[in-house]
């Protein structure tokens, strides 16, 4: 036992023994191991109360709130302006579905210590892994582009050209993830979600008809014309986006969460799903209560959507909307390329993670860099209406979602893989019902398009 503060030389075996007897060394002692001086420090007490709850929030909240991105803001604004409160019931059901799916992704990471694409390659073979990678890369490249389109739209509201704003945003995100680490980046992402608090306040100040809101949330109504189907699939795509599951599972693995901490990750996933979709509910309510009565049912620009914040900010509504749009775009602009880099690295067995530098994980950082650069380039040369492009990408996500969901459901139900954390009967039923509804919606939309409405 070492009882003094003088330098001492110990062997690796002694360190192993001391690790089982933490009280044998006083905090503050300096040890010399093979010529290197180490200082032991007293561990901080774990947080309690509300601070303990805040400490639990992480990948689940980030993944779900990152879904509240530029494309999501465009989609829910159009839904509120065109259909009022009609589709709120669908959003309620999608919140339950999102909670189930995100919890499954977190549980897969906790039980296996592997990312989704790792598991797909090992369980189904390289051919299925290539299919999953192709779907993910195509979808996420499109989403990344929409995030930088959101940055450009927010900058133009402030009178700043996209030629300045987009490159600055791209370089900033790249530097954050290249030179930071997961835990510092996680705190930055969480702080950026605070910009969404403007939407609940705006919805309340707009004095909506709360009876109509409750009716829309509790009484399903379904119209199968082409316009409704398009926005239903877009709402599904923006609520349960494939990159959210990828990021959730990979981030849990990156944090090294074990089965003993599964309950904390489950709570994180549930809170994230609820918080993320509450934002969408208030965006729909705010736009339905402001834009629809004013006859602004055809939203063509970010400035149009900004009018929904006028009850809160008045003449400053556009500026406040721009801040929210910028924060949403930056958050998802980091998470989407990151989730894609994790997935591709997992599929092919490349090294990945924040703990490595560019030389040791060239594919991981290289793909992240390429997606950010491509997204920024597309945003500098948009070829269509920004709102149409943003909504269109969400529709595309909704069409591709069944493929990712099917893999998650099969893997999460495998008891040889998951052990005691395998899906329960209730989890399997809810998961497969989600897959059936999502697939049916996608097929109905495709059929409607092929038949001309």
1-35: per-residue pLDDT in tens? Answer: 333 444 444 443 433 333 333 333 343 444 444 55
Q: Could you tell me the residue range of the domain that residue 118 belongs to?
A: 59-450
Residues 200 and 256 reside in one and the same domain: yes
pTM: 0.79
At residue 242, does pLDDT exceed 80?
Answer: yes
pLDDT for residue 177? 76
Assign residue 72 the CATH number of its domain.
1.20.1740.10
Give the mean pLDDT of 405-424. Answer: 93
Residue 54 lies in a domain: no
Task: Answer yes or no: is 301 within a domain.
Answer: yes
In a domain, 64, yes or no: yes
Let me know if 10 is exposed, middle or buried by CB neighbors in 10 A (0-12, 13-18, 19+): middle
Residues 26 and 68 in one domain: no
Q: Based on the domain organization, do 26 and 117 belong to the same domain?
A: no
Does residue 425 sit within a domain? yes
Q: Are residues 184 and 312 in the same domain?
A: yes
Q: Mark whether 138 and 218 lie in a shared domain.
A: yes
Residues 33 and 126 in one domain: no
SS3 38: strand
State residue 5's pLDDT score.
40
Of all residues in the chain, what percent carry a pLDDT higher than 70? 82
Residue 179 has pLDDT above 80, yes or no: no
Q: What is the pLDDT of residue 47?
A: 43
- Give yes or no for residue 79 having a pLDDT over 70: yes
Long-range CB contacts (< 8 A, 24+ apart) of 5-11? 5/29, 5/30, 6/30, 7/31, 7/32, 7/37, 8/32, 9/33
Q: Check: CB of residue 370 under 8 Å from CB of residue 277.
A: no
Is 53 part of a structural domain of the chain?
no
Please, which residues bridge with residue 38 across strands?
31
Q: Is the pLDDT of residue 405 over 70?
A: yes
**312 C-beta neighbours (distance < 10 Å), count:** 20
**Residue spans of beta strands (DSSP E) within 274-362:** none
Chain position carrying tokens 């075996």? 13
- The answer on 89 and 10 residing in a single domain is no
Is 50 a domain residue? no
Q: How far is CA 379 from CA 75, 77, 149, 175, 385, in A?
A: 18, 21, 5, 19, 12
Residue that wins the pLDDT comparison between 278 and 222? 278
* Average pLDDT, rounded, for the chain: 80
Mean pLDDT calculated for residue range 93-108: 93
386 falls within a domain: yes
On whether residue 111 sits in a domain, the answer given is: yes
Task: Give yes or no: residues 39 and 63 share one domain.
Answer: no
Residues 33 and 74 in one domain: no
Kindly state whether residues 223 and 301 are assigned to the same domain: yes
Task: Provide the pLDDT for residue 1.
Answer: 39
Asked whether residue 29 falls in the same domain as residue 64, the answer is no
Count of structural domains within the chain: 2
pLDDT band at 86 (very low <50, low <70, confident <90, very high): very high
Q: CA 129, CA 160: separation in Å to the nearest integer?
A: 42
Both tokens of 360, joined, read 């040791």
pLDDT(45) > 50: no
> Tens digits of per-residue pLDDT, 345-380?
878 888 877 667 778 888 888 999 999 999 999 888
Indicate if 234 and 158 belong to the same structural domain: yes
List the beta bridge partners of residue 299. Answer: none
Q: What digits encode the pLDDT tens for the residues 207-218?
A: 899 999 999 999
* Arithmetic mean of pLDDT, 181-198: 66
């Amino acid at each position: 036992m070492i009882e003094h503060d003088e330098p001492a030389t110990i062997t690796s075996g002694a360190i192993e023994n001391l690790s089982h007897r933490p009280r044998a060394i006083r905090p503050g002692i300096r040890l010399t191991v093979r010529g290197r001086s180490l200082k032991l420090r007293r561990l901080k007490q774990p947080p309690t109360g509300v601070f303990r709850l805040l400490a639990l929030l992480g990948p689940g909240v980030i993944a779900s709130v990152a879904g509240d991105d530029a494309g999501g803001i465009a989609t829910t604004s159009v839904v509120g302006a065109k259909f009022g409160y009609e589709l709120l019931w669908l959003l309620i059901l999608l919140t339950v579905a999102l909670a189930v799916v995100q919890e499954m992704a977190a549980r897969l990471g906790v039980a296996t210590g592997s990312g989704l694409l790792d598991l797909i390659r090992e369980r189904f073979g390289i051919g299925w892994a290539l299919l999953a990678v192709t779907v993910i890369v195509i979808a996420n490249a499109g989403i990344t582009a929409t995030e930088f389109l959101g940055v450009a739209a927010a900058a133009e509201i402030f009178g700043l050209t996209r030629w300045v704003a987009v490159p600055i945003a791209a370089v900033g995100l790249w530097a954050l993830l290249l030179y930071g680490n997961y835990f510092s980046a996680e705190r930055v992402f969480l702080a950026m979600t605070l910009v969404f608090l403007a939407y609940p306040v705006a919805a309340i100040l707009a004095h909506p008809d709360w009876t109509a809101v409750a009716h829309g949330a509790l009484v399903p109504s379904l119209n199968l014309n082409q316009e409704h189907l398009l926005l239903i699939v877009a709402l599904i795509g923006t609520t349960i986006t494939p990159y959210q599951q990828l990021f959730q599972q990979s981030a849990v693995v990156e944090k090294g969460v074990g089965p003993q901490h599964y309950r904390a990750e489950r709570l994180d996933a549930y809170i994230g799903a609820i918080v993320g979709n509450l934002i969408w509910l208030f965006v729909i309510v705010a736009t339905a209560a402001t834009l629809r009565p004013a006859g602004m049912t055809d939203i063509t620009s970010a400035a149009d959507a900004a009018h929904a914040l006028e009850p809160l900010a008045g003449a400053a509504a556009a500026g406040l909307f721009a801040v929210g749009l910028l924060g949403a775009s930056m958050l998802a602009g980091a998470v989407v390329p990151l989730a894609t880099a994790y997935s591709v690295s997992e599929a092919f067995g490349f090294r990945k993670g924040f703990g490595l530098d560019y030389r040791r994980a060239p594919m991981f950082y290289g793909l992240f860099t390429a997606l950010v650069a491509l997204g920024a380039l597309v945003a500098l040369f948009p070829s269509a209406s920004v709102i149409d492009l943003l909504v269109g990408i969400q529709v595309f996500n909704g069409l591709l979602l069944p493929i990712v969901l099917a893999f998650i459901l099969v893997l999460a139900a495998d008891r040889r893989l998951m052990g005691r954390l395998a899906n329960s009967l209730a989890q399997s039923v809810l998961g497969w019902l989600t897959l059936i509804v999502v697939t049916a919606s996608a097929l109905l939309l495709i059929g409607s398009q092929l038949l001309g409405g």
